[in-house]
Amino acid sequence: MNCKQAEQRYTILDFLIAQNIPLPARRTSGYMLKSPFRNERTASFHVDPTGRMWTDHGDGESQGGGLVKLVQRWYRVDVSGALKIIAQVMGESTTSTSISPVPLEARKQTPLGVEVRCVQKLTDIKLIEYAEGRGIPRSIAVKYLNECYYSINGGGNFHALAFRNDEGGYELRAPNYQYSSSPKAITTIAGVDGSSIAVFEGFFDFLSALAYFKREVLQTDALILNSLSHVGKALAILKKYKHVHLFLDNDPAGQGEVTKITSKCNGVVNWSDRLYPGIKDFNEFLITVPHERDKVT
């Protein structure tokens, strides 16, 4: 199945329904949904009346396209990866070259399922090089990451860097893939000083802090959200600390959570504004900006 065949065979609405995402009532202009790219309260994601074109209005500049481009951005994969995901979600075999469309009512209505088959010590050189390419020294990568072998909806044999959360699920990252296994939750890591805590949106930001400060253990405790949707649960933990250091993303969603945490906790410092203003996140700052490493925590 190529891009043209995928977008002729399935609409964006078909794909959303197959992911168990409820559709709002159809308007004359189409459908308005909450964006799959961020956590938001007001719907900013538009699908046209035909169900074949989308536009995202919530990231400061309108972007859009068809089904393949949607899946590419949603799952951060290339075209080949997007076509595999579409085939898997819609119930097709990725090895078939000629497949008839499956009626919508007959499709299995389940979200993309990640099944972890094996988690082991990080030794795969390509995964280590991927981490190093994002500015993470090998010594830090092998200390905090594993390599994971997994399938998606029972198919395929994928492997990726794996970062464990406090409930036994994993954040999975490879050059062309970004997934999570259930249960999805925060990760907490003890530091040297238990009176302060540093908060990161994703694990690459946490690893970037270790690389930036040239440490294998942070001075502060660390809390990695693994999703901004976990901020509410994290607040109960953060309120116990005298000082809270925030290293969230410099985007509307991340800064919105900075405001929320600042209003609920004591001694909050927003380092995304002080250390890397105008840059998306800590990892991008680490690998793109020449800097001297000043002690922060």
Domain boundaries, the chain: 3-106, 114-180, 187-288
Residue 179 to residue 151: CA distance in whole angstroms:
11
DSSP-based three-state secondary structure for 77: coil
Residues 187-288, CATH architecture: 3-Layer(aba) Sandwich (3.40)
More confident residue, 295 or 68: 68
Residues 3-106, CATH architecture: Alpha-Beta Complex (3.90)
What pLDDT is stored for residue 144 in this prediction? 97
Residue 199 to residue 227: CA distance in whole angstroms:
12
**Cβ atoms 47, 31 nearer than 8 A:** yes
pLDDT of 165 over the 60 cut: yes
pLDDT tens figures, 170-219: 999 987 677 888 888 999 999 998 899 999 999 999 999 999 999 999 99
pLDDT of 281 over the 90 cut: yes
pLDDT tens figures, 15-58: 887 766 777 777 888 888 888 777 667 888 889 988 899 988 87
What pLDDT is stored for residue 97 in this prediction? 33
Q: Do domains 3-106 and 187-288 have the same CATH topology?
A: no
What pLDDT is stored for residue 155 in this prediction? 63
**264 contacts: CB under 8 Å, gap ≥ 6:** 235, 238, 239
pLDDT tens figures, 216-266: 999 999 999 999 989 999 999 999 999 999 999 999 899 999 999 999 999
**Cβ atoms 222, 193 nearer than 8 A:** no
0.85 surpassed by pTM:
no
DSSP-based three-state secondary structure for 168: coil
**Cβ atoms 194, 148 nearer than 8 A:** no
pLDDT tens figures, 117-156: 899 999 999 999 999 999 999 999 999 999 998 887 666 6
